[in-house]
Structures are given as C-alpha cells and as structure tokens.
Chains A and B, each alone.
Chain A
Amino acid sequence: MEKSLSWREFIITRLIQTSGYSAILFVALIFFFLLREGLPTLGQVDAASLLNIRWYPIENYFGILPLITGSLIVTLGAALIAVPFGIGTAVYISEIAPRWMREILKPLVELLGGLPSVVLGFLGILVLAPFLRVFLDLPTGLTALAGSLLLGGIAVPTVVSVAEDALDSVPRAYREGAWALGATRWQTIWRVTLPAAKSGVLTAVMLGVGRAIGETMAVMMVTGNAPVLALQPGSLFSPVRTMTATIAAEMGEVANGSTHYHVLFFIGMVLFIISLVVNIIASSVVFRSKKRAERILS
C-alpha cells in the first residue's frame, strides 16, 4: 500500500510540475508558429517595400508603415486618456474614497475590464462615432479619435488595478509620518505616496499601453479601416487602420501560404515582440521595486 501511495504521489507531482512548466512551452510555441508563418515574408517581400507607405495587398503593396503609425496614434491617444484617468481613479480608490465607495468602485472597474470589446465597438459605431461626427463636424466619426476613446476605456481597468495595488503597498507609516509633519492629505499623496509607489504606477502605465496596442475588435470597428500614413496630429480626426485590425480584417480572406498570409503573420510577430518587450520591462520594474521594499522593511 505504501508503495502504491508513493507511486501515485510521484506521478501527481510530475503532472503538476509539467503543468507549471507548460506556460514556458506555450510562449515558445506561439513564438515558433509566428516565426514559422511570418518569416517567409522576408523571402517574398523585400525590406524596402515592407517599410513602404502603401498597404494595398491586392496589388501586392505590403508597406506596413501606415499600420504601425495607425497603431501608434490610436495607442498614444488612448494612453493620454487612460493614464490620467486610470491613475486618478486609483488614487481616489486607495487614498480618498470612503470604504463603502471603494467596495462599489472596485468591482465596477473590474466589470469594465470584463466587458467584451465587441460590445464597446458596437456602441462606438452606434453612439460615439455619430456624436463625434456632429460634435467635431467631421466627414465621418469613424476615426483614430474614436478608437483612442474606446481604447482608453479598455485600458483604464488595467491601469487602475495595477496602480491601486502599488499605492496600497506603500507602508502606512510613510503616510502617518507625513501627516505628523503637518502635511495635508493632498500633499501626502503628491509628495509621499505617489513617489513611493512610482515604479508600480509606471508598471501600470506600461501594462495599460500594452493592453491598448493589442486590442483588436473595438479598434477595428470604429477607426474607419483606412490604411493611410498617420503622422500629423490631424490624423487623429481621420480614419486609420491599426496592425491588429489589419490582421483581424484580412486573415479570414487570404489563401493559406500566400504572401499576404505570411505578411499578416509577420505583423503578428511584430505585435508579439512588442508585447514581450513591454511586459518584460514592466515586470522587471515590479521585481526591482519589490526587492527594494523588502530591503526597507527588513
């Protein structure tokens, strides 16, 4: 009996360990398949035309610059919204709000994180875009701005929850020390709490931006789907096309193995690498600050 018990224990332990390592396997698999399907692009399209400003796959124009600038401008706009509102809300929840308010706000923000992006895109088409068209007197409301507004909303929950965690983990003694020196709560927030939580808040911003770059459906539905170079601030008010939206919109219609197919995977590869870089930097920031906190507290 003891023998069979230890065998069972051994097998279960191995299974659990394998599951633990599976995360590494999946990241590797994802990268491998993106490379496998994306790298042939470089043999079929030369680098110069890949970095061209014309995306018109039917006539074999595969310039991805318009898509990159489209993603950048929409993400930048989203960040301008999500960062102040996200951090503001996090400060409100963790430093200002009374307890009952906190109990209401936290699940609500979490709820926003769970709203399907198609639903937001759907409302974007029906409500936001017409409003923008009339309000700003544009030819169409389906613009980079509409995308930024929606994306801002989608990125906010990420920013709020990470930033709030960071603020929460600032030791209470820091605040009490500041109050004891006569600082108001407001001064304490600005000069003590936020600076102490700096790295966590930075992580929040990065993860929020990462979330925004990767968002697909809502952006595809409201940005007007025009792959044109978006370099001036005015581009914010005209239709654009992001990298994610391009993949989503076109992958369904390409022939497997065609140049177009490989280029779409190539774009996916670029997105993957961007998210990898963002997350590695963000997590190393968290890691470092945690170590510092441990040093301070021990």
Chain B
Amino acid sequence: MMTKFLSRNRHTVQRLGFSAITVMALFTVLPIIGTITFILVKGGSAISLDFLSGFPHDGMRAGGILPAIVGTLYLTLGTAFFSVPLGIAAAIYLAEYAKENRWTRLIRLAIINLAGIPSVVYGLFGLGLFVLFLQFGTSILAASLTLSIMTLPVIISTSEEALRAVPQAFRTVSISLGATRWQTISRIILKEALPGILTGVILGLERAAGETAPILFTGAAFFLPQLPQSPFDATMALPYHLFVISTQVPEMPIQIQYGTALVLLVFVLTMNVIATVIRSRARAKRQW
C-alpha cells in the first residue's frame, strides 16, 4: 500500500517535473520563432526593388538601403579574407602539429579568451591599433581586420573539431605510403574536414555580419552619398544603419526600420541555414 503510494507519487513528481522543463524549453524557443516571424511579417511590406537598390534620402527617412547592404557584404568578405586562411591554418596547427605542452595550452587559453572579449572592446582595440596607430583611418580595412580577429576563435575551434574528427588511420596510412605531413593534410585531411570547416567559417562570418559594436569606431559611417570606392573608405553597414535609424533619427518611418531589420535578419539567417544544411548533408554522406 505504502510502496504503491510512493511509486505513484514519484511518477507524479516526474510528470510535473517533465512538464515544467518542457514549458521552460518552450519559453526559450518560442520567442526566437516569434521574433523572426514578427520581423518577417512587419518588414515584408517595406521590401521593394527601390528599397533594396536605392540610396537613402531625406535624412534617411525615405529611399532605400543599398549602401548598407553593399557595405555589410564588403565587411563580411573583408573579414573572410583575413580570418579564413588564418583561422584554418591555426586549426591545422592545433589539430595536426601541436604537441600537448604548456605552449599549446597557452594558445588554447588565448583562443578561449578571444572568444570572451566583449565586442565593444574589439572596437576599442581596432580603433587603437588599426585606425590610429597603423593609420588606416575609419575604413573597411580597419573594420574588417577588427571583425576578423573577433571571428577567429569560432573558425579555429570549429575547424579544429572538424579536423580531429577525421580518422587517425588516414594519417598513418598516408605517412606510411611516403607522404609528408603537409601532403597528407592537403590531399586527404582537409578534403574530409571541409564540410565541418565550412560550417564553422559561415557561422563565424554570420556573427561578423551582424555585429555593430566592433565597427562603430573603426569603419561604420552614418550616411554616405556613394558606395565605398576602396578598402580605405568608410562604409555604411546594415546593423549600424538599423541602430542609427531606430535610435538616432527622430520621426523615422517605422516601415523602413522594419524593412532594414528584415534585410539584416535574412542576410544572417541565410548564412545560418546554409551552414546547417552543409553540416547535416555531410553527416549523412560521411563514410567513416
């Protein structure tokens, strides 16, 4: 009698507990879906060819956001230009060359710390080193360099994981056939780890594309009447533009704000979806 009661009680507790946890998970996830749908719905009506291909005018209160779109594209590509080769090379070092010693631990600690540094502190650093000390000025170059250092830890850690997932036996066999270490990496390991590396690269660049704080004082411009002509020009950018029109411009038409948020969101979500698809496809195809 007693045990029966106890066991029923235990299962009631479990049922209640599970429900509570499930509700918590829902509370975490539903706002994400809500946010995305809300912006898609609200911003949808602002999207037109003129909006996407025009310059802002009337103090941003009318016109399009082309320079911001192009600027974000430039910044993302600029970031990729520096961070992708450096990040992958660093990952190769950690996964393929580094021995487990004090220096390697220091590198790992440095990477963890890079990942934790507040984005606005990256902005300060970029201002101090690239804009002022190296005299790149407020420019795409300075902003891209700042963003790429911020992106490095994501690219390094995901790429390293992808490289480590490639079976050790491939390396042993390749070396035993007279390949050098680098031949083994370049001809076999990199190819096998590519989907994982690509996923990491895209996720890293996705973060860079959406960031505002690091570019605030290193490359972002409030308004420019023309598209940037060289890496030494400042540029408009979607996240900064959204910040400007939602806080700095009085009587800003709400439509344009939602439209801008939508374009930024789509930009970032597309990258995210591509990354997710690459990853799941590679998992399904993998033969080892």
User: Residues on A close to B: CB < 8 A?
Assistant: 5-6, 8-9, 12-13, 15-17, 19-24, 26-27, 29-30, 33-34, 36-37, 84-86, 88-89, 91-93, 96-97, 105, 107-112, 114-123, 125-127, 153, 156, 160, 184-187, 189, 207, 210-211, 213-217, 221, 244, 247-248, 251-252, 256, 264-265, 268, 271-272, 275-276, 278-280, 282-283
Contacts and interface: CB of A to CB of B under 8 A. Distances in A.
Given A27-B114, A96-B18, 15 more contacts: A21-B107, A22-B90, A88-B20, A88-B28, A89-B24, A89-B28, A118-B239, A118-B243, A119-B210, A119-B261, A252-B217, A268-B121, A272-B121, A275-B113, A279-B116
B247 A221 contact: yes
Contacts of B27: 85
Contacts of B31: 153
Contacts of A210: 116
Given A17-B97, A26-B152, A116 B211 contact: yes
B213 A217 contact: yes
Interface in B190-237: 203, 206-207, 209-213, 216-217
> DSSP class of B's interface residues: helix, strand, loop or mixed?
helix
B182 A89 contact: no
B242 A19 contact: no
A30 B276 CA distance: 32
B110 A13 contact: no
B117 interface: yes
Interface of B: 10-11, 13-14, 17-18, 20-22, 24-25, 27-29, 31-33, 35-36, 38-39, 86, 89-90, 92-94, 96-98, 103, 106-125, 127-129, 132-133, 149, 152-153, 156, 180-182, 203, 206-207, 209-213, 216-217, 239-240, 242-243, 246-247, 254, 257, 261, 264-265, 268-269, 271-272, 276
A27 B29 contact: no
11 contacts: A8-B182, A23-B110, A30-B117, A96-B21, A107-B272, A112-B32, A114-B271, A119-B242, A121-B246, A210-B116, A248-B216
A33 B125 contact: yes
A51 B261 CA distance: 39
Contacts of A252: 216-217
A120 B114 CA distance: 24
Contacts, number: 264
Contact of A214 (B114, B119, B242): B119
Contact of A16 (B92, B122, B268): B92
B218 to A, nearest CB: 10
A119 B264 contact: yes
A35 B150 CA distance: 19
B266 to A, nearest CB: 11
